[in-house]
Amino acid sequence: MVRTRFAPSPTGYMHIGNLRTALYEYLIAKGNNGQFILRIEDTDQARYVEDAVELIYKTLEITGLKHDEGPDIGGEYGPYVQSERKGIYLDYALELVKAKKAYYCFCTVERLEELHKNSDLGIAKYDRHCMHLSEKEIEENLKNGVPYVIRQAIPEGKSTFNDVVYGEITIDNSELDDQVLIKSDGLPTYNFANVIDDHLMKITHVVRGSEYISSTPKYNLLYEAFGWEIPTYVHLPLIVKKDGSKISKRKGDASFEDLLKMGFLPEAVMNYIALLGWSPGTNQEIFSLKELEEQFDVKGLSKSPSAFDEDKLKWLNSEYIKKLDFDKFYEMVEPFLKAGVKSSGIDFKELAKMAQSRIDTINSAPELFDFIDTLPEYSTELFIHKKMKTDEAVSLSSLIKVLELFEKMDGQWTNDYIYESLIALVNELGLKNGQILWPVRTALSGKPSSPCGASELAELLGREKSIERIQYAIELLQNKLN
């Protein structure tokens, strides 16, 4: 059976690359009727971030990536947690020490820092100082309680392995460091616990970023030292910015949680990251999670880095927004609209109906209606529109007539009635529709585009505010043309 695992470290936010890894692991498992496991790798206590585990749970719940196995907690599966399994790792390390595949290292922090300091490149491999200690020296140190770590003994030669994406890869073992397996606090390092747990949990496919390719031989040497079967490796291309640089939270790049706060829907984000490094082989761009489960194939994975394009994500998000049930959409967008538009008497459901087909993020909806509270400063050039056959002079003439019309309309003030009245004025003056409607739309919104037409804007703003804005536009045009 195919078994994959998502094994995040609770050291901060959920990076987009981490989430894509989780998605691909989930899809590889589900596409092969396999199982998807969640394992929290929290052995790095120095970098542990409070609430990071809860953020991992929340993210997977929101995205629908439900894991299949783990400790029973209240009738549901919890994740495996490495710190709760810490008693098992030392025995495996001692087994390697006995087999001469690992060794005790008693070097002090000061010595290691000096080794690092004296390195030409500033990156020091351990010099194997403790590898050649006699049995007597080791026993004496252990008896006296001298702090130690256990290091992997990297053999000479070359290591070759096959990767689903990158094919056969060979790395000279001289490039590998004698990595620490057990730290001085008795906890395993990420790399060591990773191998032990993958074996014990019968993980068949290890999916991770391509930055781990160079250290994969370390893992394989551990598998070989124990006589265990090596899993299938699927290394994923990097996700980069448009300029080719790596995505980094420190540089202000968004995490999954950030994207949700920015108004992106989780389904759209998951759809988008599925396509960062994978091609379905068709022109289809919009996928539900179920469709991804059915169509995902590792053969479609790319070796090349994938550029994170926020504009493309916004387009995809807008498509998802359009398909939302209106009541659900309104529930999501209402708080943003009410926070952004303060004018009284506004029908926010009507605003939401206008917004649903026009916005690309949920919280950008108020930007469509920022003209309602305050008319923005605008240039008379907005009145020039070749297609509408209108310019500043035509607009001035039309708005003077519209002002007279609006001032006489003391009864109904509805979209239908306003529109019918404006069209009647068009016919009376022998003009084109656009020669009246475009100037009115511009005068009422003060923007090059608006979420609705002239009559809808007038109804939205109300009679008094509409008349004020028409008067202002007339004055603006008169000043420009005189």
Residue 277: both structure tokens together: 């490094």
**Tokens read off for 365:** 């909806």
Answer whether 40's CB lies under 8 Å from 73's CB: no
Angle at 268 between CA 264 and CA 269, to 5 degrees: 75
Instruction: Give residue 140's Cα distance to chain centre.
Output: 52
Catalytic residue among 100, 202, 246, 249: 249
- How far apart CA 247 and CA 425 sit, in angstroms, is 57
- The span from the CA of 196 to the CA of 92, in Å, is 8
- Among 330, 343, 333, residue whose Cα is nearest residue 370: 343
Mark whether 66 is an active-site residue. Answer: no
| Segments of 326-396 assigned E as strands | none
| Nearest-angstrom CA–CA distance, 39 and 291 | 26
Judging by DSSP bridges, how do beta strands 72-73 and 239-240 pair with one another?
A: unpaired
In what helix (H) or strand (E) does residue 6 lie, and over which residues does it extend? strand 3-6
Residues β-bridged to residue 160: 170
* 308 neighbors 16 (Cβ within 8 angstroms): yes
DSSP 157-194: SEEEEEETTTEEEEEEGGG----EEE-TTSPBPHHHHH
Catalytic positions are 249
